[in-house]
Amino acid sequence: MPGGGRSGNLQSVPDSSPLAVCVGEGLVSFVPATAAPLEEARTFHRSLAGAEWNTAIALASAGVRAAVVSRVGDDGFGRFLRAELDRHGVDASAVQVDPEAPTGLYVKELSPRPDGSVDGTMHYYRSGSAAAALSPETLASDAASALLAEAALVHTSGITPALSDTARAAQDSLFDDRRDGRLLSFDVNWRPALWRGREDHGRAVIADYAHRADVLFCTRPDAEAVFGTADPDRLRALFAEPRFVVVTSPRGATAFDGEDRTDSAALDVPVVESIGAGDAFAAGFLAGILTGLSLTGSLARAHRIATRALASTRDHVD
């Protein structure tokens, strides 16, 4: 299964920049032009989505070399996703093309809020997608192996192991293949619909990855749902292994580097819609620590990049 070519836009990021590799599912998102029930929506805008892909794009926008390891279908949607990575300067050389399984997609339903922003509800059409067939063999491909060998950081999330047994095996292999000098970043991204009927199993799986990560991200609602607490200090005590623990909410974030704690408030900016802001926030924080910023500086960079995702109904920064 051939992969995509190396992005022609990568020269905009210095070759000396650290490489971050994001492993996970890419999706095509259809967003209504207006906030209304889907049965009333007539026009949709197409864009790239998927937590790890959003993070990769935001990392590239922050000046970090970024690559994606994933799978898409041999269809127009798959070609669109790979072209979007290229447009944003993200290396798509390890995005495999499946000749049979389709590219996954979702439709976003927008509901207006009194403050002028909108709430987004996602309706997924991803069952049997090419990305669900992620496996250890995907990571062992020549293109993926080369990227992972060079990576200063590998980022993934709690979505991937919920997709399929083979996708979980791929994630397991990332966590088992620890390498000196390479950080492993994990965003909880609790999606109860993907774990329906096996929620307790999903919580145990995600907790295991959280203990084994170097950088752990979670929102307060996800932390409460998965770990039973949203208190940052209790989470730091519960997950003593990661060097960095970052707990976020719409009001701000708390980050730990070892025992050091820093709190920061979210920037006061107009919010159009919040989906994807967490991925941009993670990218900003990771860009900060990869380039030697302090904990305070990394949080400030995270908030700045997150505001760009808050400014539109797209899931990624542009």
SS (H, E, C) the chain: CCECCCCCCHHHCCCCCCEEEEECCCEEEEEECCCCCHHHCCCEEEEEECHHHHHHHHHHHCCCEEEEEEEEECCHHHHHHHHHHHHCCCEEEEEEEECCCCCCEEEEEEEECCCCCEEEEEEEECCCCCHHHCCHHHHHCHHHHHHHHHCCEEEEECCHHHHCHHHHHHHHHHHHCCCCCCEEEEECCCCHHHHCCCHHHHHHHHHHHHHHCCEEEEEHHHHHHHHCCCCHHHHHHHCCCCCEEEEEECCEEEEEECCEEEEEECCCCCCCCCCCHHHHHHHHHHHHHHCCCCHHHHHHHHHHHHHHHHCCCCCCCC
Active-site residue, 180 included: no
Q: What angle do CA 116, 120, 124 make, to 5 degrees?
A: 165
> Could you tell me whether strands 260-265 and 215-219 are parallel, antiparallel, or unpaired per DSSP bridges?
unpaired
Q: Catalytic residue among 86, 222, 279, 315, which? A: 279
Give the span between the Cα atoms of 304 and 306, in whole angstroms. 6
Q: For 234-262, b where at least 16 C-beta lie within 10 A, e where not — what string?
A: ebbebbeebebbbbbeeeebbbbbeeeeb
Measured in whole angstroms, the distance separating CA 143 from the mean position of its chain's CA atoms is 20
Residues annotated catalytic, as ranges = 279
